[in-house]
A and B are shown apart, each in its own frame.
Chain A
Amino acid sequence: MNFILSDVQNGVMTLTLNRPERLNSFNDEMHRQLAQVLTQAERDDTIRCLLITGAGRAFCAGQDLNDRNVDPTGAAPDLGASVENFYNPLIKRLAALPKPVIAAVNGVAAGAGATLALGCDMVIAARSVNFIMSFSKLGLVPDCGGTWFLPRLAGRARATGLALMGDKLSAEQAQQWGMIWQVVDDEALTDTARQLATHFASQPTFGLGLVKKALYASETNTLDAQLDLERDYQRLAGRSEDYREGVSAFLAKRPPVFQGK
């Protein structure tokens, strides 16, 4: 079964979570397939933007609980194992990917599905969508980066409320709180997301990758350390071909043609 569909066009890799009958919830095999496709996104320089979306009516309902049959009388399951083996590497790889990652949230995003979406660089959601931090209702902890991203996106008070209550958060509310980039009407989602992805695929990818890296580094750096890092990255960016192209296009008053290097 192809639980992950991938399609590369015009420098954009569209990655579709594809278990629609199970609301695209994760099982181990789906994780393995996703990891493989990510490897391609990492290695192929012609891919300059990654767009993640879901097949059918959901974005992703998180971990497939059918896959975690808990025997009430048996030994406690090791939920840390799937976090360690699958979710953590996934989030680390998306964060480290030196190109923009867009989530086009087409339907419900629950549990790890919600935190996965919030971990992407740019989130565009359909108006009817809800984000549900459902972990706490099962006695669990938001994983897939949830406890890291939530307070950074929503602020501590809202993050705590969201994580402890496990209630629905509408796309519009998420946008009002500054947690996601954009809300669009349901029928406009695909086009809007694709447009943004195609735009990114023509941009100075090397520089965008450095911007992303610098923003992540700022979460743990002191101001001094971050200023040093900006110096380093600016030095690298200044040596890129795209910077040359950008400057010469500006001086020649023509649109630049960026190669992403």
Chain B
Amino acid sequence: MSELMIDQTQRILTLTLNRPAARNALNNALLEQIAQTLESAQKDESVGAVVITGNERFFAAGADLKEMASRDMPATLNDPRPQLWARIERFNKPLLAAVNGYALGAGCELAMLCDITLAGDNARFGLPEITLGIMPGAGGTQRLIRSVGKALAYRMVLTGEAITAQQAQQAGLVAEVCPATLTLEYTQKLAARIAQHAPLALQAAKTALRQAHELSLSQGLQHERQLFTLLAATEDRQEGIAAFLEKRPAAFKGR
């Protein structure tokens, strides 16, 4: 069976990490598959949003330590991993994570890279890299502090201790906590609700949201306005507003 199971239901593409023996550890091959799948999903008009999930016990319990151990400094310098992460990050449609069980290290970083994370009540988020004599290497120190703030981010990164789904929700890492057996279902429902909106508007809104971490407020506002103006030129905008005024559901075409 493939290490990444891919299933499309209507406009929602679900990617299931499937390396149960390795606790869904994210090795380079798996990241490559995720990146490739997202790249083709980006071109595929039939895909409105993507959900990434693992299994009941593990979302992903880190990177592949065996793979990492064999890499010395020069090899790490030329590691293809940062490029793989950057390719995943470039995905421009809504990307959701349905996290049950452990999301540790790279698994936590993958969940944080997603736009929205829903967590099962059994979920744990943590960056235990420090306990191995290393540190987070794919956004763990950057994305975490931006969403949960200094106190919790330092604590998690420096102790390596994981937090519960409830703590993650309180801290702003997770959008919703649900019973573990319903996590995937609810994430897919949410994705479907999102995917019924105009694709170009979603893309523009996602771009603007991402810029919030890259730009100053005034630059961000400027950028937001440009994207907003851009949408004024789309057919879907006419359709969306017309449908609202005529009290009927909108039929978006992605133009």
Chain A residues near B (Cβ < 8 Å): 232-233, 235-236
Contact = CB atoms under 8 A, between A and B. Distances in A.
Interface string B180-195: 0110000000000000
A161 B34 CA distance: 61
Q: Which of B178, B179, B181 has the largest count of A CB atoms less than 10 A from its CB?
A: B179
Given A232-B179, A235-B182, A236-B179, 5 more contacts: A232-B178, A232-B182, A233-B179, A236-B181, A236-B182
A233 B178 CA distance: 10
8 contacts: A232-B178, A232-B179, A232-B182, A233-B179, A235-B182, A236-B179, A236-B181, A236-B182
Contacts of A233: 179
**Pairs of residues from A and B, 6 with the lowest C-beta to C-beta distance, nearest first:** A232-B179, A232-B182, A232-B178, A236-B179, A236-B181, A235-B182
A235 B178 CA distance: 12
A41 B102 CA distance: 24
A236 B181 CA distance: 8
Nearest to B185: A235
Nearest to A229: B179
A233 B179 CA distance: 8
A236 B180 CA distance: 10
Contacts of A235: 182
A260 B168 CA distance: 32
Contacts of A232: 178-179, 182
Nearest to B182: A232
A169 to B, nearest CB: 34
Nearest to B166: A220
A214 to B, nearest CB: 11
A162 B135 CA distance: 51
Contacts of B181: 236
Contacts of A236: 179, 181-182
A137 B181 CA distance: 47
Contacts of B179: 232-233, 236
A232 B181 CA distance: 10
Contacts of B178: 232
A236 B179 CA distance: 9
Nearest to B180: A236
Nearest to B181: A236
A233 B181 CA distance: 10
Nearest to A232: B179
B36 to A, nearest CB: 35
A232 B179 CA distance: 7
A235 B181 CA distance: 10
A232 B178 CA distance: 8
A111 B8 CA distance: 58
A235 B180 CA distance: 12
Nearest to A217: B121
Interface in B2-29: none
A7 to B, nearest CB: 31
A171 B180 CA distance: 40
B53 to A, nearest CB: 18
A132 B178 CA distance: 39
A182 to B, nearest CB: 32
Contacts of B182: 232, 235-236
A211 to B, nearest CB: 14
A242 to B, nearest CB: 15
B59 to A, nearest CB: 19
B185 to A, nearest CB: 9
B227 to A, nearest CB: 33
A232 B182 CA distance: 8
A194 B181 CA distance: 33
A231 B179 CA distance: 11
Nearest to A228: B178
A224 to B, nearest CB: 13
A236 B185 CA distance: 12
Nearest to B178: A232
B214 to A, nearest CB: 34
A220 to B, nearest CB: 9
A172 to B, nearest CB: 39
A17 to B, nearest CB: 30
Interface in B179-228: 179, 181-182
Nearest to A235: B182
B142 to A, nearest CB: 31
